[in-house]
Structure 1
Amino acid sequence: MSRAQDANRSFFPFGNPFRMISPKGSKVSHQLLLVLQAFEATFEERLTRLIPESKDEILSLSWMTLAMRLLCESHSDIKTLTTELELPVNDWDAKWIDVYFDISMKLLDICNAFSSELSRMSQGQLLLQCALHNLGSSSSEQYDRACSSFDGWKQHISSGNPRIEKCGSILDGLLGSLDLPKVKKSAKGKVLVQAMYGVKVLTVFVCSVFAAAFSGSTKNMLDLDVADVYSWAPTFKRLQNLVNEEIRVRFSCGRFAVLNELESVDSSLKELYPIIRGVVDPTEMKLLPEIVGQLGRSSGNLSQGLDLLAKEVDSFFQVVLTGRDALLSNLRSGATVIHSNVGVTEMQR
């Protein structure tokens, strides 16, 4: 992998794979193998759905929305799998409780960072709407106001977001969670850990892509090395290679923004500026209504895409938060005492 790993970190959203379920060893039964195979088949299907037919689809808000939706579904499947396996969540060792809360908090933090950036970009829509309103008039004064709004929009979109800049350290923590724990005496634990590994890989991949897109830098990109022993590994590698390669190409070209919808708005602005500034042949003014209409559609697509993606990010936040609440509920019902600082804080909330 592209970053150093912390071998002591892993996260267990809905169950304890280290608890000894059976005292007679950990040989995985045929029935458990069928359960795992069904889980991984569904997981691979989701990976396949994320592979775009065209590179132009990569880093569109619709593709990112799909990625976040499939991530939510995969995490929900882990919860369902844990229920099917009847794995208990109480009586955890204190260190594993600490690990779970630490990693799940990182997921909540990165969701908050993404939501912050989506909200910031949505705020810029007010500037575009103001500019479009001013373009409804043919006066030079209104054109000047429109240009001022356009300049403000570009400056707003290009400005940095401190919360996104912190995603690198969060990703380092998530990357460390990919290490597979050793489960020697629990067949059910082995099944859960293997299933969770795929979901964790998808989580880190999607989060790294989002962080790269929002930060405008490849420093947050990760190239995950998945062993070929997993049935879904070839599909994931194909997805990762295609997406990461395209992102790097876009950054190397010095584009204003890597998100398709932002680029579409910027392209319309580049056509508009010479016309409303009067630096082109006056006869080209006849193109103004068409270009303004194109800008309006691009702005509308951007606004709608941001809203839909924000909803999916919030859904993922809720999935993670629900998992934490479920664990706390189980710990309370089992009268489990947590001695760590993190656990005590969570139990007192």
Structure 2
Amino acid sequence: MSRPHDGHPPAFPFGNPFRMIFPRRSHQSPKIVGLLNSFEENLAERMKKLKLKDQGSVLSLFWMRLAMELLSETYADIKVLITDLQFPVADWDEKLMDIYLDNSVKLLDICLAYSSELARINQAHLLLQCVLHILDTSRASLSQEQLLCAHSSLGDWMKQISLRNPKLENCSTILNGLIESLHLNKVKNSTKGKVLIRAMYGVKVQTTFVCSIFAATFSGSSKPLVDLHVADKFLWAEVFIDLQANVNGVVRSLASNGSPTLLKELEAVEVNVKRLYPLIGSDGNGPVEEETLQNSVLDLRKSSERLVQGLDLLSKEVEGFFQIVLTGRDALLGNLRVDNSDSYSRTENNVESRL
């Protein structure tokens, strides 16, 4: 897939891809139409909740946790929709099945990369805990050895945070693979199948958007961002286009300003670390007022506590989403008929080996 010169993944002008899904003269059951409309309306409401009220709310752990929570709700909704449609796995289009299984593995890979990054940041926090433990007293009571230890730990923290996680390297490539799967393919001549693929398209759009924001946040770059063009036939299309322009615009603005990190809580900790680092000095004898030092320590303590709390909550949401994807995938594979076709067996074996 070719990339434009600005380094961002290409947008896909789908036009109106649902001409082949819902022909004008096709008869649709009111019940099925109601199920689809309900799904799309719920999706639109979730997207509304993610719109930023101000630039300061972007890329916070709270926003990221909300985005992952709402994404999990959408996956729960698609499961309910499949049940309500009474659309058994045996009736799934083979190509749709292949895309679903392949995408599930991509999502599991992405979740593992994000969990790895959250764990890395959390691990580095142990250095700050050491510093705060040492400095939890008056400067006069500290020995030169203790000050040197605290100073060294702060330096080590800054070095660790500045490192890039190699497990995040492939996220952009994986995201591009998800984008390619957004192309809607023909399915069996089944109204239920067409409803399902339309609903799954909405799920994939939301998934791609959220994952691209996460990738940009963790990488500190706007390159992972994607700009998707969707057909105006969706009930959630207008809300999504507004949301995408809103969030992507703020992220690109922050990245262009050269922010050291795009994660709000982590940036606050980094600011306080850099403020405290010279105060204790490499020799522990800098002329610093006691009140100034204690205020800096207090600020670092507060910001680091907010960071850790946010990391823990987000980690649980990522793990929960991982389990939803894994469970859904395993349930689908478990329902495949053994004598259905060799292609399903090859797909299952390929997915298992990749996982």
TM-score bucket (shorter structure): 0.7 to 0.9
1:231 matches 2:240: no
> Taking structure 2 as the reference length, what is the TM-score of the superposition?
0.86
Match in the other structure for 1:159: 163
Alignment of 1:272-311 (within 5 A): 272-277=276-281, 282=288, 284-311=289-316
Q: Deviations over 1:101-146 (max 9, x none)?
A: 2221111111111111111111001011011112124234322221
Match in the other structure for 1:219: 223
1:262 matches 2:241: no
Name which of 168, 178, 195 aligns with 1:174.
Answer: 178
SS for the counterpart of 1:124 is helix
Match in the other structure for 2:77: 77
1:323 matches 2:294: no
How far the C-alpha of 1:280 sits from its partner, in A, is 7.6
Name which of 1, 9, 18 aligns with 1:3.
Answer: 9
% identical aligned pairs: 49
SS for the counterpart of 2:223 is helix
1:147 matches 2:151: yes
Match in the other structure for 1:12: none
Distance 1:60 1:346, change over 3 A: closer
1:199 matches 2:203: yes
SS for the counterpart of 1:219 is coil
Q: Deviations over 1:80-111 (max 9, x none)?
A: 00100011102656554433322211111111
- In 1: Cα distance, 2:342 partner to 2:216 partner: 37
Q: Any conservation in 2 of the 1:257–1:263 contact (CA below 8 Å)?
A: yes
- In 2: Cα distance, 1:111 partner to 1:123 partner: 18
- In 2: Cα distance, 1:190 partner to 1:95 partner: 13
SS for the counterpart of 1:218 is coil
1:344 matches 2:349: yes
How many equivalent pairs are there?
331
Match in the other structure for 2:113: 113
- In 2: Cα distance, 1:112 partner to 1:45 partner: 28
- In 2: Cα distance, 1:78 partner to 1:123 partner: 36
AA aligned to 2:330 is: D
The alignment yields a C-alpha RMSD, in angstroms, of 2.6
Match in the other structure for 1:11: none
AA aligned to 1:300 is: E
> Taking structure 1 as the reference length, what is the TM-score of the superposition?
0.87
SS for the counterpart of 2:336 is helix
- In 1: Cα distance, 2:68 partner to 2:258 partner: 27
- In 2: Cα distance, 1:188 partner to 1:96 partner: 13
AA aligned to 1:253 is: N
Unpaired runs of at least 5, structure 1: 8-17, 19-24
62-71 or 250-259, which deviates more? 250-259
Match in the other structure for 2:99: 99
AA aligned to 1:206 is: V
1:43 matches 2:47: no
How far the C-alpha of 1:309 sits from its partner, in A, is 0.7
How far the C-alpha of 1:285 sits from its partner, in A, is 3.1
SS for the counterpart of 1:220 is coil
Q: Deviations over 1:220-258 (max 9, x none)?
A: 111111222222122112211121111112111212211
SS for the counterpart of 1:248 is helix
Q: Any conservation in 1 of the 2:36–2:199 contact (CA below 8 Å)?
A: yes
Distance 1:187 1:342, change over 3 A: closer
AA aligned to 2:259 is: R
AA aligned to 1:269 is: V
246-255 or 29-38, which deviates more? 29-38
- In 1: Cα distance, 2:226 partner to 2:91 partner: 35
Alignment of 1:119-130 (within 5 A): 119-130=119-130
